Amino acid sequence: MDPQLSTQLVQLLAPFLPYLLKGAKLAGQEAAKKLGEKTGEKGFEQVKAL
């Protein structure tokens, strides 16, 4: 990768970094929520089977 290109990308994205991080945090929370729901459903199904 061209070092000049990476410098330009950093300069371009730096002002948006707080928003990008917030979006990533929210996406992670939603993914964890969905995973918890699926895990709960699977656990409930296993308990019912017993």
Instruction: Say what the pLDDT of residue 4 is.
Output: 92
Predicted model pTM: 0.51
Instruction: Say what the pLDDT of residue 35 is.
Output: 85
> What would the DSSP string read from start to end of 21-36?
HHHHHHHHHHHHHHHH
Residue 40 located in a structural domain: yes
Query: Can you tell me the mean pLDDT for 10-28?
Result: 90
Domain hosting 27: range is: 16-49
Instruction: Say what the pLDDT of residue 14 is.
Output: 93
Residue 34 located in a structural domain: yes
- Domain count across the chain: 1
Confidence at 15, pLDDT banded by 50, 70, 90: very high
Instruction: Say what the pLDDT of residue 1 is.
Output: 64
Query: Can you tell me the mean pLDDT for 20-49?
Result: 83
